[in-house]
Structure 1
Amino acid sequence: MFTAHRTEDGMRVIVEAETADTEALFKQFDEAPEVSSYEILRADQRSVLFQLEALEQAPRIAAHTAGILPQYPMILRNGWQTIEAITSWERLSQLKEEFERADVSFEVLSVTQPIETTHLLTDRQWEVLTEATTRGYYDSPRGCSLTELAAALDVNPSAVSGVLHRAEEQIIKAFVAETKQVDGLDRPG
């Protein structure tokens, strides 16, 4: 779903569906009492883009009541709609209550808190990492050696190596934790 707007009688949405059988899809709409109209905007062998007018459904009403502003596009796959939203814990709890009250089946796939990059590294780590990046230390092949980087920063190579290692550890752990590739990994900070 790309966008949705309330109308006097319900909702107007623009949806792109991946399907090779548009006839079957629109036959379902023809038989659904909550769908008042639809218009095909574009179609090819793999997908169809259409505008649909229908009654507002319980999940959307619950989200609206909880004050949740969903982000678009939304994905609808195999009868499940995936919604991303930026919200507070209080509104998320209210959404859960609204879903339960409306008997809406739901599953929370993930709750994340964005990493504040300004708190990820110390000022010194930022300084050394920026200098290393600027001088090509992370290029392949390297634009400068650890010894050259240390000379530019006027410190010994082992100090630069230690600062970079700790910065790299924070960045890598934060990235892996954010992408959920390793269970149980503590976020830095």
Structure 2
Amino acid sequence: MIRARFRLVLPEDVWVTEVSTSFPDATLRLLTGVPTGDRVLELGEVRAENPERVTDAIRDHPDISGYEQLYAGDSRAIGQYEADESGLYEFLWASSLPPEFPIVVENGEMEFDLTATREGFEAFGSALDETGRRYELLTLVHIDDRESLLTDRQREYLTVAHRRGYFDVPRECTLAELAATLGVDTSSASETIRRGTGRVVGQFLLDRD
């Protein structure tokens, strides 16, 4: 199996392109998307210095309807809405490989992950080339040996840390909060995460050679 991350330049006439280029310092994260006919029901997150300005632009865009704000903070907001997303998802939905969320959009460019067999990955790349869109392959990691790469405890700790936002910049939770969630002391959490992270990074660097 192969896990890869792509960066794709979005069409200019897609709503998320227009909003993200209007707020180039903001990060828009599409947390999930469910097709509903020719539209998509989305759960989206905005991370910005002033997220209210960005969410107002999303709510007021003609391609957005039924915007409902679910969370609002100083630098982060989450909303649910319906969107005309044919230009954003048309290639991903048409492929045999569904998009993996979250999909991250910044300043008119979309980043997304893909997990596939080697044959599926090569077919996806060929299909992407045929679209003529500009894109970049950011990372490529072979994960055939993922079961032996991490211990069960390392995999558990890294998974919880990722879900809680421990690796985000800025971090969404502290080491103490993470340790409390795992039910261990901070030194145990720190050591296990450090060793697991070292193995993952080492595997990635070896695959890049």
Q: TM-score, normalised by structure 2?
A: 0.51
Q: SS at the partner of 1:25?
A: helix
Sequence identity percentage: 18
Does residue 46 of structure 2 align to residue 17 of structure 1?
Answer: yes
Where does 1:85-124 land on structure 2 (aligned, <5 Å)? 85-116=114-145
Aligned residues: 134
Structure of higher CA gyration radius: 1
Judging changes above 3 Å, is the alpha-carbon distance between structure 1 residues 94 and 56 closer, same or farther for their aligned structure 2 residues?
A: farther
Is contact 1:16–1:47 with CA below 8 Å preserved after alignment?
yes
| Residue type of the alignment partner of 2:76 | S
- Select the residue among 144, 169, 180 that pairs with 2:205: 180
Q: SS at the partner of 1:20?
A: coil
CA deviation after TM superposition for structure 1 residue 27, in Å: 4.1
Is contact 2:141–2:207 with CA below 8 Å preserved after alignment?
no
Higher relative contact order (CA 8 A, sep 6+): 2
Is contact 2:49–2:74 with CA below 8 Å preserved after alignment?
yes
Structure with higher strand content: 2
Is contact 2:45–2:78 with CA below 8 Å preserved after alignment?
yes
Judging changes above 3 Å, is the alpha-carbon distance between structure 1 residues 181 and 48 closer, same or farther for their aligned structure 2 residues?
A: farther
Is contact 2:51–2:75 with CA below 8 Å preserved after alignment?
no
Q: TM-score, normalised by structure 1?
A: 0.56
Q: SS at the partner of 1:2?
A: strand
CA deviation after TM superposition for structure 1 residue 183, in Å: 5.5
Is contact 1:59–1:99 with CA below 8 Å preserved after alignment?
no
Aligned-CA RMSD value: 3.4
Q: SS at the partner of 1:69?
A: coil
1:40 is matched with 69
Question: Which ranges of structure 2 fall in alignment gaps of 5 or more residues?
Answer: 1-29, 150-197
Question: Which ranges of structure 1 fall in alignment gaps of 5 or more residues?
Answer: 121-172, 185-189
